A and B are shown apart, each in its own frame.
Chain A
Amino acid sequence: MRDRYPDYDVADKRATPSWNDATRTALDQRLAVHPGPRFLDAAAFATLQALCGRILPQGERTHPVPLAAYVDEKLWLDKRAGFRNAELPPLREAWQRGLAALEAEAQRAYGRGFAALDPASQDALVGRMAAGGLHDPAWGDMPCALFFAERVMAEIPRAYYAHPSAWNEIGFGGPASPRGYVRLDFDKRDPWEAAEAQPGREAEARKANSRVGR
């Protein structure tokens, strides 16, 4: 994946007026997430890690965003979304059952655990789950497509895009208080915003991005 915002690190702005104390505290907590598992058992956590690796593959990262840890933390706190589809069990049970069912589907289809499958086989199973095509008894009365849409896709991508690494990747300005933004027109960038690299002009972007924390 081409680095659109080379050398941009939203954390460089930590000491600037773009971040207030509440933000610093919130992001310190985010980065210090317990590696887990605290709620799931080791086997389910391994399945979850493998699943996260397919929902948002981070093969190129030396320090991938610990997505499974965030999901496990949410389960440990039982932090719910404020609603659930009538066909789904509560948050914790949905995840426990869904991960066990995914494991059972892997064993049934490939004779191996989900985490031990190659990425193509994992993707095939995820695709079938998304399309409502998995029916192992382990799912119980929970429709697999609903589990995928309302739990997997509601929680894993949100965890990823709550992480500063993801903000750097998409060039999001990140925290903004007390300082917000001045330049709002098309193709206008405040000096404390990420600079997008035009092909062949990466050096310019790098230079601008090294200055966002000034």
Chain B
Amino acid sequence: MLHGASAMLGASVLADSAVEHYRGSFDNPGMYTPLVVSAVTMAAGIDGASGQWLPRRMRDGMYALSGAVGAIGVGFHTYNVLRRPGGLNWLNAFYAAPIGAPAALSLAGAIGLAADEIAETSHPDRLKLFGIPVGRALSAFTALGLMGTVSEAGLMHFRGSFQNPFMWLPVSLPPIAAALTAKAAIEPAGERDGRPMTRSWLWLTSAMGIAGVGFHAFGVSRAMGGWRNWSQNVVDGPPLPAPPSFSALAIAALAALRLRDLEDA
């Protein structure tokens, strides 16, 4: 399940960075990097989730690469913003390279690495990451990831003036899911009710991520020229590949909850 989430996040980054860097005309050869790396991450995730034909070491190498490239991407995007007139201001936050976006790649890598760690051990309930039980660590990590994605969606929907009421969904549903997941990360052991509330919100968030593609497709259709003007509207309109990153993180959080249940048991 964690590998699957990793693959899904990788796919979202692949499609999103392909469109966005195409918009940027691939001016800097480095702009191809996230395409290659997110494809690699996706491959690692699919491999991990299905047959595991690749040696673990190689898969982990792929995940680690993803984590590193995401961090470097944040640096590049920050540089892109700072060198524009006005530097760090709202205008550049809206229209220059999105500073937080590459972090999704790091998230995908980290989730994948954790997945392999867990698969290796016969006692995942005793596994620790950074000295913290893995279920708790991953819950906290995915909650943070969800909140990062919420801020990016919030910024972009603010740019769009929340002109459609549904644009409030990704800034209202996922924060609740993230808060509940964070609660699962820190609450004392012994909660054995299976956290139905948290799971429901996460499934809802996951479904919202898929539905978001539909909303964004509608957005493209109502821009001038609609789908016939795809060469403008797919690039300039609401990004079709962005919303599933919510789904990927929600699924990862669900997997983390399962580990939490084991730890509690």
A191 to B225, CA, bound (A): 17
Flag whether A182 is at the interface (Cβ < 8 A). Answer: yes
Within 8 A of A (CB), among B207-252: 224-225, 228-229, 231-232, 235-236
Q: Which of A163-189 touch B at CB < 8 Å?
A: 177-183, 188-189
Given contacts A17-B229, A17-B231, A191-B231, contact A178 B23 (CB under 8 A): no
* Beta-carbon contact of A182 and B236 below 8 Å: yes
Q: How far is the CB of A45 from chain B (nearest CB, A)?
A: 43
Pick the residue among B23, B228, B235 that contacts A17 (CB under 8 A).
B228
A192 an interface residue at 8 Å Cβ cutoff? yes
**Band of interface residues on B:** 10 to 19
- Shortest Cβ gap from A22 to chain B (Å): 14
Question: When the two chains form their complex, are residues B225 and A17 in contact, meaning their CB atoms are under 8 A apart?
Answer: yes
Minimal Cβ-Cβ distance residue in A for B96: A185
Name the CB-closest residue of B to A184. Answer: B95
Complex: A17 Cα to B227 Cα, angstroms: 10
How far apart are the CA atoms of A192 and B230 in the complex, in Å?
13
Contacts of B224 in A (CB 8 A): 177-180
Tell me the minimal C-beta distance from B155 to chain A in angstroms. 19
Docked-complex contact B231 and A192, CB < 8 angstroms: yes
Closest chain A residue, CB of each to CB of B224: A178
**Min CB gap A104→B, angstroms:** 54
Cα–Cα, bound, A180→B223 (Å): 11
Which listed residue (A179, A182, A192) contacts B23, Cβ 8 A?
A: A182
Which residue of B has the minimal Cβ distance to A189?
A: B25
In contact, B235 and A178 (Cβ under 8 angstroms): no
Instruction: Classify chain A: how many residues form its interface, as a range.
Output: 10 to 19
Residues of chain B lying within 8 A (CB to CB) of residue A188: 25
Contact B225 A179 (CB under 8 A): yes
B236 to chain A, nearest CB (A): 5
Contact residues of A: prevailing secondary structure: loop
CA distance A183 to B27 in the complex (A): 12
Instruction: Tell me whether A179 and B229 are in contact in the complex, defined as CB-CB below 8 angstroms, given that A188-B25, A189-B25 are known contacts.
Output: yes
Complex: A179 Cα to B225 Cα, angstroms: 7
State how many angstroms separate the Cβ of B135 from the closest Cβ of chain A.
44
Which residues from chain B contact A183 at a C-beta distance below 8 Å? Answer: 23-25
Knowing A178-B224, A178-B225 touch, does A17 contact B25 (C-beta < 8 A)?
no
CA distance A112 to B199 in the complex (A): 96
Q: Which residues of A contact B235 (CB under 8 A)?
A: 182
- Tell me the complex Cα distance, A169–B24, Å: 26
Q: Which residues of A contact B228 (CB under 8 A)?
A: 17, 178
Cα–Cα distance between A178 and B230 once the two chains are bound (Å): 11
Hey, which chain B residues are within 8 Å of A17, CB to CB? 225, 228-229, 231-232
In the complex, how many angstroms separate the beta carbon of B239 from the nearest chain A beta carbon? 13
Q: How many whole Å from A24's CB to the nearest CB in chain B?
A: 15
1/0 per residue, CB under 8 A from B, across A192-203: the answer is 100000000000
Give CA–CA (A17, B224) in the complex, Å: 10
Report Cα–Cα, A22/B23, bound state, in Å: 29
Closest chain-A Cβ to B180's Cβ sits at a distance in Å of 39
Q: Which residue of B lies closest to A16 (CB)?
A: B231
A189 to B231, CA, bound (A): 13
Q: How far, in whole Å, are A179 and B229 apart by their CA atoms in the complex?
A: 6
A4–B224 Cα distance when bound, in Å, is 31
Minimum CB–CB distance for A82 against chain B, Å: 30
Q: List chain A residues, Cβ under 8 A from B25.
A: 183, 188-189
**Bound complex: CA A141 to CA B25 (Å):** 59
Q: How far apart sit A17 and B225, CA to CA, in the bound complex (Å)?
A: 7
The contact string, 1 if C-beta is below 8 Å from chain A, for chain B 1-44, is 00000000000000000000001110000000000000000000
CA distance A63 to B81 in the complex (A): 48
**Residues in B lying within 8 Å of A, measured CB to CB:** 23-25, 224-225, 228-229, 231-232, 235-236
28 cross-chain CB contacts under 8 A = A17-B225, A17-B228, A17-B229, A17-B231, A17-B232, A177-B224, A178-B224, A178-B225, A178-B228, A178-B229, A179-B224, A179-B225, A179-B229, A179-B231, A179-B232, A180-B224, A180-B232, A181-B232, A182-B23, A182-B232, A182-B235, A182-B236, A183-B23, A183-B24, A183-B25, A188-B25, A189-B25, A192-B231
Given A17-B228, A178-B228, A189-B25, 15 new contacts (CB under 8 A): A17-B229, A17-B231, A17-B232, A177-B224, A178-B224, A178-B229, A179-B229, A179-B231, A179-B232, A180-B224, A181-B232, A182-B232, A182-B235, A183-B23, A183-B24
